[in-house]
Amino acid sequence: MSKQGRVGSGICYGKRETKKESSDFGVKRLRQKVMTKPEKYMFPLAALALVVAVCVVPLTAEISNVTSTRHIALRMDEAILTVNNELDTELVVSWMSERCYQCLYQQLGVVPAGPSPGQPSSVDFVVGTQHGITLQLNSTTVNLELCTVPFHFGEHGNYSLWVKNLNDSSVVNCSVVTGADPVNSYIPILVAFLIFAGLALASAIGTTILGLDVVRGFFFRISGSMETERLINSELGSPDRTVSLIADNILPPPSSPSKRLRSLDTFRGISLVIMVFVNYGGGRYWFFRHESWNGLTVADLVFPWFVFIMGTSIALSTHSMLRAGSTRCSLLRKVVWRSMQLFIIGVFIINPNYCHGPLSWDNLRIPGVLQRLAFSYLVVACLDLLVARGRLDILTTDAWWSPGLDILLYWPAWLCVLILEIIWLCLTFLLPVPDCPTGYLGPGGIGDMGLYANCTGGAASLIDRWLLGESHIYQTPSSRVIYATHMPYDPEGVLGSINSILMAFLGLQAGKIILHYRDLHTSIISRFLIWGLLLGAISAALTKCSTDHGFIPVNKNLWSLSYVTTLACFANVLLVLVYFTVDVKKWWSGAPFYYPGMNSILVYVGHEVFEEYFPFRWHMSNSQSHTEHLTQNLVATSCWVFIAYVLHRKKIFWKI
């Protein structure tokens, strides 16, 4: 059990799963003493947002009472706890995070007995503030639990825990007193939200005003006679245009290319922008970091959504190319080549050694985000090539089974996915793991009362170590943050890839719905909602509507079955909202998310490669400020959105 560092401050300050996360879980005893009681127009505004974000005055606060004389330098998400012991026996103070399921208490420190009645012995500790914790106080003489105190400390607050006897000497009273109020670390998020919401509102109002006939007429009148003549010709037609109009009435209309759905690129862009933001740090807020084990945070949503919309795009692109006359063999070659490219690029960007000398093959990490995308794309695209049809307009819609046409026509692919899922279930719950319970899904470490400390991930971890080798998988997983694990574990490992295939295939099913019911908006929306309801019901059954007590908990590290069904449920609902507002009602153009969605590979690879370069990162005057981190991460993310917009205007797209 580590005793170095500060309690509860082990939250990962690394960049992402490919960066090192903190595993520091102990506590530093600071001082011991005897004391007495004391859209078009969107992006000019977006550029303005960058300037405003940089110039926002940091929202910091100082502790301005007597405790400031202690000269204890607090970092982010930390507070001071002074334990005052009036008992005539030593106290052992231990702690446990409320997010740690069935965990062992970790020792915080020892507080000596008071030197005399009415004169307590005091010890200062630094405690974490990201999650609530439970303090346990034991007597060292008989190892007897005296009391437990659940409490959620606030950032940079100053607290005192008083331990004393009441009138009855056998009754111990433990109470927490706030000496200095904590700062509100969430104010920067509110300010950032108001800034961007204001910019979006200003853009919407400006676009509406500029679209009014009166305003357009005003600009027409002041633009000059030549411009007016040009506009008139463009509206009414020049003599040459009149000839072409006559020809248009005689000749048959040319076939129009298939209409690209803006909602799909917008959905992809939403996932990508959030992914970039959380990868850059998310302001160092815990809910913008990956969950330590079971459960969900904002950071856990975006990768499955990206996989989902990739599956949707596979269905549409395969259908389009088959309809254009491409052969299945030629498409298969393109799929294999693209998968290889994605995998190789992924290996390069998760093993950066630009400033650390040559990369060693001994510790090269093999799994990663793009590698997982490559594998999922390869399998799902091959399944689609197996069953896809070039023409759907010749299919009957009169049969009793026609409402399920978008599923029944592709039953071989569904059968393959079902077999893969059975393989995942068998390996996960039946594969023997040495020194671990069969079917173990826990984090190991101090979880499960420390009984299975080396069993992190169960069968998934065993398969990765067997196939890839322990030195070629992720060495510092997020389970270290709360569960103090020390085993390597890769959240993009081999076994979880089976469920990422399922996620992409559910996205493929969404694409089939769009193809079969094109322009029938009610049918498309109703089917998306039905799928969302069905997947949500499956998730509720698997998890028993709880974080830790279900048959298969929601777990991003494992890419558990319930994780996939839950995120696919959310994806269908989000896709309904985006599809309805962007493509059906056209209330929203999809900006600014539409632009990075059109150039997703370039933005993802670029944000990884240039992360350490200005303007995506700079030296901060106070690296322990949520405000400065949030400002930096929002500016960096906004820069990539702006870059995607400029590339879109110049029609530059990186396709693999």
| Residues annotated as part of the active site | 290
CA-nearest of 528, 35, 511 to 316 is 511
Three-state SS at 147: strand
The DSSP-derived string for 444-501 is -TTSGGGTTTT-TTTHHHHHHHHHT-GGGS-SS-THHHHH---S---TT-HHHHHHHH
The DSSP-derived string for 559-602 is T-HHHHHHHHHHHHHHHHHHHIIIIIS-----TTTHHHHHTHHH
Task: Say how far apart CA 333 and CA 336 lie, in whole Å.
Answer: 5
By CB neighbour count within 10 A (0-12 exposed, 13-18 middle, 19+ buried), where does 256 fall?
exposed
Task: Say how far apart CA 283 and CA 620 lie, in whole Å.
Answer: 13
Copy the structure tokens of residue 145.
């639990």
* CB atoms closer than 10 angstroms to residue 231: 14
Backbone region of residue 559 per phi and psi (left: phi > 0; alpha: psi in -120 to 50; beta: other values): left
* CB atoms closer than 10 angstroms to residue 456: 26
Cis status, amide bond into 592, omega within 30 of 0: yes
CA 111 to chain centre: 41
* DSSP β-ladder status, 158-165 and 172-180: antiparallel
Spatial strand order in the sheet of 106-111: 106-111, 91-97, 133-139, 144-151
* DSSP β-ladder status, 158-165 and 78-85: parallel
By CB neighbour count within 10 A (0-12 exposed, 13-18 middle, 19+ buried), where does 47 fall?
middle
The residue written with tokens 């009984």 in the block is 451
Copy the structure tokens of residue 576.
């309904």
Cβ-contact 415, 422 below 8 angstroms = no
